[in-house]
Amino acid sequence: MKHIVLDSSPLGVLSNPAKTEEVKAITQWATDCLMAGHSLYVPEVIDYELRRELIRAKKADGLAKLNGLKTTFSYLEITTPAMLLAAELWAQSRQSGTPTGDPKKLDIDCILAAQARTLIIDAGDEFIIATSNVSHLSQFVTAQLWTDIQP
């Protein structure tokens, strides 16, 4: 079983109410993943990242679709252990010379990676972050383009 944690790019496309080919393709992929018995997760930090822009831009349809995805998929709340791990990941990336963002800004990639790493999964299961930003996240976790993750 795969535990697929959605980054902002795939979750943003999934929450787009337009019927573009990309939206249709990722919606079919998500459906296939669920049908195969895999779990899809909406991380709280990514919900925040998308939600703030949908509210600012007054995109009620996108907001409604995002809310629906939170009930269809599992919701991955930010926890204290995840935030403590995120701080460690942030420091490690800077010490190794591979920062994932501006040191003065909140590093959502570190928080996302920490949220995924604190998932409690059964032995033999795997977790993957579905993203468009493989290079930043892959230093902390397994990350792949959603199109490369087989249902």
Domain presence at residue 111: no
Task: Taking the CA atoms of 128, 7, 39 and 19 in sequence, report the sign of the dihedral they define.
Answer: negative
Count of C-beta atoms within a 10 Å radius of residue 79 = 13
118 CB-contact burial (10 Å; exposed 0-12 / middle 13-18 / buried 19+): middle
Domain presence at residue 136: yes
Give the 3-state secondary structure of residue 62.
helix
Residue 131 sits in a domain whose CATH number is 3.40.50.1010
Q: Please tell me the predicted confidence (pLDDT) of residue 71.
A: 93
The range of the structural domain enclosing residue 69 comes to 2-78+123-148
In sequence order, which residues have a C-beta less than 8 Å from that of residue 119 and are 6 or more positions away?
A: 3, 5, 41, 76, 127
80 CB-contact burial (10 Å; exposed 0-12 / middle 13-18 / buried 19+): exposed
Q: Please tell me the predicted confidence (pLDDT) of residue 87.
A: 94
Residues 46-67: tens digit of each pLDDT: 999 999 999 999 999 999 999 9
* pTM for the full predicted model: 0.93
List of the chain residues with pLDDT < 70: none
Q: Please tell me the predicted confidence (pLDDT) of residue 105.
A: 76
Domain presence at residue 36: yes
Q: Please tell me the predicted confidence (pLDDT) of residue 84.
A: 96
* Average pLDDT in the chain: 94
In sequence order, which residues have a C-beta less than 8 Å from that of residue 125 and are 6 or more positions away?
A: 1, 2, 3
* Paired residues of 42 in beta bridges: 75
Number of domains in the chain: 1
Q: Please tell me the predicted confidence (pLDDT) of residue 76.
A: 95
Q: Please tell me the predicted confidence (pLDDT) of residue 15.
A: 97
Q: Please tell me the predicted confidence (pLDDT) of residue 60.
A: 97
Domain presence at residue 112: no
Please report, to the nearest 10 degrees, the dihedral formed by the alpha carbons of residues 64, 49, 41, 11 taken in order: 60
Q: How many helices (H) and strands (E) does the chain have?
A: 7, 5
Domain presence at residue 99: no
Q: Please tell me the predicted confidence (pLDDT) of residue 99.
A: 82
